Every structure is written in structure tokens, then in C-alpha cells.
Amino acid sequence: MKAISFWKKLLFTLFGCLIFLAILEFGLRIGGQIFLSLQEHRNEISLKQKDSCRILCLGESTTALGGNYSYPRQLEKILNQSKDINKKFTVINKGIPAINTGLLLLQLQDNLDKYKPDIVITMIGINDKLGEIRNKEDNYFTSFRVYKLAKFIYSSLSNKGHKPKDVQDIAVALSDAQLESLQVMEKDLKKKIESNPQEYELYTDLGICYLDQGKYFESEKSLKQAVAMNPKSMRAYFELGVCLQKQGKYQESEKVFVRAIEISEDNWMPYVQLSACYRSQRKYEQSRQILEEAIEKHPEVHWLFSELGMVCKEQGKTEQAKLFLQKAIELNQKKDHVWPYIELGRLYRSEGRNDEAKEMIKQAILIDPKNKWAKFETDGFNSNQVRLESNSPVTAYNYQKIAKMIADRGIRHLCVQYPMRKVSDLERILKSYRKNIVFIDNKLVLKEAVEKDGYKEYFTDRFAGDFGHCTAKGNRLLAENIAKFIIDIMD
């Protein structure tokens, strides 16, 4: 009877999971239909404008998303507000999340017949499969929205890495043995405090024990007790700052780390954590200032250069970031610090330097075979390789078909390259159709902006490795850049 009961429970569990997935799939499909219906409603409104130049934008989520702040919507506003040209414009947004060039090709004839555009803008290819040329979805399972959602989440994790908020915050799941050891330590420290309640170091140790278990409230309380008992304890202040930082209490954490530095200027650790705290709030100049001050005192400490490399990377200052990360690796004679290798590997990978990237990740794994972020990067070379390939055979084949169909109809074609990528790759695969195509490079304009204001000002994620979905501000830059080319060809 027990066996039957067990199998019944298992069947009910599996049935429940299937029902949940079915409901999720239904919800995603309904949500997708609502999104596309709203998009089409906006397009229909735009179509009502008479005697306007009609522009059709084709793409995936990088084109579709953003609502009124998507690049097609902003492009329409910019063109219609321009004083450089006396003409009205209608911009149709036919971006569809997760679509590939094969499906875009299948839909192209219908879209051209329906919208009768004067100009077609394409920014496409990021969702293509490497090494396969198909005009349909891969198989039955890949057509499910749940599958695509899971794939997108995995892709985001692989590239974005859920990277820790600071260089020391490596979130590793505790094993049963580790958790049990910490619980025993907790009980032991509590007993010692009962016997010697005036010993502030015991409160510090207990706070660290709580912190290692993820008990932030208890940790903060214990560490604040230690600080109150000994206001000159750098160790207590430092651990309290880490605890507050992990809770996202950045402003409070800043003050604590500043106090830790005042107590012990010769200790480099609070400088690193204070910089990481500033970095989490995008206070990059303050991060650089505190690190440069620390490097003057401790030019031999690789952690400082590693953190400075991270600051430059988030600012979009790639070349500086690489130099500082290389310096951190050079100084790390013991080879006990994996993060410079991982971050340098990510930078190489974003530039398409996959061999050098793999070597960096390989070194990281040799240092720490259990490091899950290094494993994420290793897996990413397989699962997301296509995202970093500029000339996928799939993209080349389908893009050429799309360009030919547009050219055969006598429609002007604006071929837009993704931000942060070289337009020369598109020029090479579409060289047979150059006479009808205007190639638009977005790399320079976005790179300069990112270097000035930071990556997060212009992108919400890093799903493609070297770029992601644009913020409203990022889409604005794309739209402004594209508008210049349109105005030029309309003169």
C-alpha cells in the first residue's frame, strides 16, 4: 500500500507540474497576443496618416520592446519634429520578441504587401541558430513559450552571471556539513557570550557566523553591539559594512566603511568594499577616487586593481578595465583570486576573442574548480556562442534573401547593426545588395555614451554578451542615429 501511495503522490505531483506549465504556457501566449495586438493597434493609428513616408521596422525584442520608448516610436517622433526636412513620417514597429531571421523572411512578403513601406529598417540576426539554416522553428518543443522563457532566463544568467555586488560576495550554497558546522559555532558563541558578556570580539564573531548563514538581521544586531562596545574596532565596522551592503543598505554601509578606513588607514580591505558600495550605486567617480587613494598606499595589492577594473568595466571603459584586470593577475602571485580571470574572460568574450576568453576561464577553474561563475562562463561558450558570432551562416543566408526581396520591390533598405558591434560584418555578407542598402553603424555612438555614463544607463541587461536590451535612453540614441541617415537620403 505504501508503494501505491508513493506512486500516486508522484503521479499527482507530475500532473500538478504539467497543469502549472500548461497554465504558464497559456498565460505567456495570451500575454504575447495582447502585446502584439497593442503593437498592431499603434501601427494602425500610424497608418492613418496620409501622404507620409512609411517606414517599416523589422526585428526582435530589441526592436519590439519599450512601448512608446522603443526605438521605432522614438524615431517617428524625432523625424516628425525635425526642422531639416519638410515631410511627415509613419513608422511601423513589427518587432517580435524571440523571432529569428527565418521567420522574418517567411513573414516579409505579407508585411510588405500590407504596409507598403517606402523604407524598410532591419536590425536582425541575434536569435539565429549557429550552423543551421531553417525557415521554421527547430522542433515541437522549441515552439513552446515556456521553453523560450527558460532559455532566455538561462541565457541571462550565463551572460549577466548574477554577479556579486562586491568582489568578496560570492554566493555559494552551503552544504549540509557547512551549515551544521556554523550552527554548532553559533551555539558555542552564544554560550561564551553568556559567560563573558563584555567581550566585544565574541559579538563580532557571532555576527560573522550569522552573516555566513545569511541571517542578516541577527548579524547586523550583533555587529552593531560589537561596534557600540568598541568604537575603535576596525574588524567590527568592516563586517558590519559587509552585512549592510548585502542587504542593499548602501548609504548606511558607506558611512560604516568610511569609519573603518578612519580607524585603520593602513588596511586596504575597507577601501575595496567602499568602492564596491559606490559601484553598486553607480557612483563610479567616487569608486575610482577611493581606489586610487588606496593604490598609492598599497600598490602591491591585487584586489585593489581588480576592483578598479570592475569599475572601469561598468563604466564601459573596456581598455582601461583590461589593463587593471591584467595588473591584478600579474600581482596575484599566489594565484588565489579568480575574479580578475573571470572578468577579463568576459571582456575578451564580448570582443569575440573566444580563445583568450577560454584561457582566462580555464585559469579561473584551475584556481577554484568549484567556482560556479567560472562554470557559468564555460557553459556559456556552448549555449550562447551564436550570440557572439557576427557572421552566423543562418543570418547570412536569410539576410541575403530578405535584402533581395526588398531590393526587388524597389524599396530603400536601411540595414542597422546592433549596438556595440561592427557594421563591417553586415557589409560583408550583404555586399551583393550594397546599391540598395544604407548601412548604419551604432557602435561608435553607443560606445562613447557608455564610456561617459556607464553601461546601465543605456542597457537593461547583457543577454547578447556584448550588449543587451536598450533603456529608453539607449533607444533614443539608436533612433537619433538612424534619423540622421533617413534625413540624408530624403534630401
- DSSP single-letter state for residue 415: E
Q: 369-407 in b/e burial notation, b at 16+ Cβ within 10 A?
A: eebebbebbbebbeebebbbbbebebbbbbbbbbbebbb
DSSP H or E segment with residue 237 = helix 234-246
Residue ranges of the chain with pLDDT lower than 50?
1, 35, 130-141, 155-156, 158-173, 383-390
Residues 6 or more apart in contact with residue 316 via CB below 8 angstroms = 447, 449, 450, 451, 452, 454, 455
Q: Which of 399, 407, 415 is nearest to 482 (CA)?
A: 415
Query: Model confidence over 349-373: pLDDT tens digits?
Result: 777 788 888 889 888 888 888 776 7
CATH number belonging to the domain at 2-124+136-156+390-462+469-490, selected among 3.40.50.1980, 3.40.50.460, 3.90.1150.10, 3.40.50.1110:
3.40.50.1110
At 131 the pLDDT is 38
Please say whether the beta carbons of 93 and 70 come within 8 A.
yes
All three cell numbers of 121, joined, read 529598417
Domain range annotation of the chain:
2-124+136-156+390-462+469-490, 170-264
Give the C-alpha distances (Å, rounded to integers) separating 410 from 97, 116, 117, 403: 28, 11, 10, 11
What is the structure's pLDDT at 376?
Answer: 63
* Grid cell locating 24: 504558464
- Which pLDDT belongs to residue 293? 93
93 conformational bin, left if phi > 0, alpha if psi -120 to 50, beta if neither: beta
The residue whose grid cell reads 585603520 is: 264
pLDDT of residue 456: 85
pTM for this prediction: 0.50
Spatial separation of the C-alpha atoms in residues 217 and 220, rounded to whole Å? 5
Q: Which residue do the cell numbers 574572460 mark?
A: 345
Calculate ∠ Cα 388-394-400, nearest 5°.
115
pLDDT score for 171: 35
CA gap 444, 437 in Å, rounded: 20
Q: Which fold has domain 170-264?
A: 1.25.40
Q: Please write the tens of the pLDDT for every residue from 58-100.
A: 999 999 888 889 999 999 999 999 888 888 999 999 998 878 8
Q: Which residues pair with 445 in a beta bridge?
A: none
Nearest Cα neighbor of 290 from 273, 315, 310 is 273
Q: What is the pLDDT of residue 32?
A: 52
DSSP character at residue 381: H
